[in-house]
């Protein structure tokens, strides 16, 4: 599986952190200038594989291959599924593992990064309105009133 280019804007192969923010901003500027392409980009985002999805698919493939090879060749092939599940456990506990940096360099993004772009594009398209801090304060006040009414 190959990474889909995340936008028409050029990208570095070693993007992490602030560079992703810069890339997202450049992408959004591109779509502000070309709003007719937003729908197409949203469809591309629906098909884009996240790092997590790629990690899970690769772990499943390695676990399956290692298990089959252990049946027909040597029991040492069981080290392959053990290593793959180890990476999955590390990812579950720490939120990252060794292959993630490699996948990121290959152009894959986290599900959170993909969702952030999707949300921003939907705001640009007019589907959503950005939540203002005052709106959040009003929502919190409503929840507090509802909680007080339920208790009292």
User: pLDDT (tens digit, 9 = 90+) per residue, 14-33?
Assistant: 445 666 778 888 888 899 88
> What would the mean pLDDT of 116-139 be, rounded to a whole number?
80
> What would the mean pLDDT of 33-54 be, rounded to a whole number?
93
* pLDDT: which is higher, 138 or 134: 138
User: pLDDT (tens digit, 9 = 90+) per residue, 48-104?
Assistant: 999 999 999 999 999 999 999 999 999 999 999 999 999 889 888 988 888 888 888
Instruction: Report the C-alpha gap between 119 and 65 in whole angstroms.
Output: 38
């Amino acid at each position: 599986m190959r990474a889909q280019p995340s936008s028409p804007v050029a990208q570095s192969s070693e993007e992490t952190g602030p560079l992703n923010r810069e890339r997202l901003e450049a992408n959004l500027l591109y779509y502000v200038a070309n709003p007719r392409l937003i729908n197409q980009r949203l469809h591309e985002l629906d098909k884009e594989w996240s790092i997590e999805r790629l990690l899970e698919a690769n772990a499943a493939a390695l676990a399956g291959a290692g298990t089959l090879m252990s049946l027909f060749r040597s029991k040492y092939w069981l080290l392959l599924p053990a290593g793959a599940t180890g990476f999955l456990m590390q990812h579950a506990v720490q939120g990252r593992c060794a292959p993630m940096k490699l996948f990121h360099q290959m152009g894959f993004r986290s599900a959170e990064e993909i969702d952030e772009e999707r949300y921003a594009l939907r705001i640009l398209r007019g589907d959503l309105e950005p939540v203002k801090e005052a709106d959040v304060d009003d929502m919190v006040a409503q929840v507090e009133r509802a909680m007080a009414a339920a208790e009292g």
